């Protein structure tokens, strides 16, 4: 059982929104409503800076703002982040039935490790693959295949859950069963029914039907 991190295993949106709004206010801009920020969270710091300031990577002023965002976020990384409601029951089921679970995320390791540790998940996960673990990142299947090697599982016996199209692309190309987490951070323009996933799920508890 493999999970994407932001928007799938963990509800990190509030802490990331707080980080963006702190940077906006520090630079004389008005904070944005949480509902406006939440759908963008899965796409990382670059997307958040573009949302807040209208700047793209490589443009003047982008990188200092991105560094401010990451600095604030790293120092407040688990202030309000939690497992999605119902996800603890899923992890308990996996562990009590002799199965293993892991994380495959594009989030860099220097942010992923302290986040999982703060939530006491680092010792429970059988394998964690971050955005800088390999040269390739999702949607490339290599991170998922590497996770399989870490936990000693065959890809066709793995289930991968994510909330972005790149997650489903990576899982499909790795030969895994894939589930779209509709409770995650989807944009209004997303059409998850076209991503080619095995199924779409509306809450973490829906995973239990696939595991049983």
Local confidence pLDDT in tens for the 212 residues of the chain: 999 999 999 999 999 999 999 999 999 999 999 999 999 998 999 999 999 999 999 999 999 999 999 999 999 999 999 999 999 999 999 999 999 999 999 999 999 999 999 999 999 999 999 999 999 999 999 999 999 999 999 999 999 999 999 999 999 999 999 999 999 999 999 999 999 999 999 999 999 999 88
Q: From CA 195, how far away is CA 82, in angstroms rounded?
A: 27
Q: From CA 5, how far away is CA 122, in angstroms rounded?
A: 12
Catalytic residue chosen out of the listed positions 6, 11, 15, 206:
6
Paired sense of beta strands 102-104 and 177-181, if any: unpaired
Q: From CA 205, how far away is CA 212, in angstroms rounded?
A: 12
Superfamily of domain 2-11+81-211: HAD superfamily/HAD-like (3.40.50.1000)
Write down the pLDDT at residue 172. 98
In the residue annotation, 18 being an active-site residue is answered as no
Write down the pLDDT at residue 212. 81
Looking at the DSSP bridge assignments, the partners of residue 3 are 103, 161
Angle, vertex CA 84, rays to CA 111 and CA 88, nearest 5:
100
Look up the CATH architecture of domain 13-75: Orthogonal Bundle (1.10)
Contacts of 162 (CB under 8 A, 6+ apart): 3, 4, 7, 8, 138, 168, 170, 171, 178, 179, 180, 181, 184
Check if the beta carbon of residue 142 is closer than 8 Å to that of residue 167: no
* Structure token pair of residue 146: 């590497």
Q: From CA 45, how far away is CA 202, in angstroms rounded?
A: 26
Write down the pLDDT at residue 91. 98
Residue for token pair 């994510």? 162
In the residue annotation, 167 being an active-site residue is answered as no
Q: Where do the domains of the chain lie?
A: 2-11+81-211, 13-75
Catalytic residue chosen out of the listed positions 4, 18, 190, 206:
4
Paired sense of beta strands 177-181 and 159-162, if any: parallel
């Amino acid at each position: 059982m493999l999970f994407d991190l932001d928007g799938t295993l963990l509800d990190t949106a509030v802490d990331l929104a707080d980080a963006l709004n702190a940077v906006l206010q520090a630079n004389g801009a008005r904070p944005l409503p949480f509902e406006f920020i939440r759908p963008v969270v899965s796409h990382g710091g670059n997307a958040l800076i573009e949302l807040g300031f209208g700047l793209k990577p490589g443009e003047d002023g982008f990188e200092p703002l991105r560094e401010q965002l990451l600095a604030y976020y790293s120092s407040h990384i688990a202030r309000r982040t939690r497992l999605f409601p119902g996800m603890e029951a899923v992890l308990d089921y996996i562990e009590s039935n002799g199965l293993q679970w892991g994380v495959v995320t594009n989030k860099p390791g220097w942010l992923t490790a302290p986040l999982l540790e703060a939530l006491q998940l680092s010792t429970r996960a059988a394998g964690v693959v971050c955005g800088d673990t390999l040269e390739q990142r999702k949607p490339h299947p290599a991170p998922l295949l590497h996770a399989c090697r870490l936990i000693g599982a065959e890809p066709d016996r793995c289930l991968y859950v994510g909330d972005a199209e790149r997650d489903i692309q990576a899982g499909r190309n790795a030969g895994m069963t894939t589930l779209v987490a509709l409770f995650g951070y989807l944009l209004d323009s997303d059409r998850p029914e076209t991503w080619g996933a095995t199924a779409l799920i509306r809450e973490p508890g829906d995973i239990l039907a696939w595991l049983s």
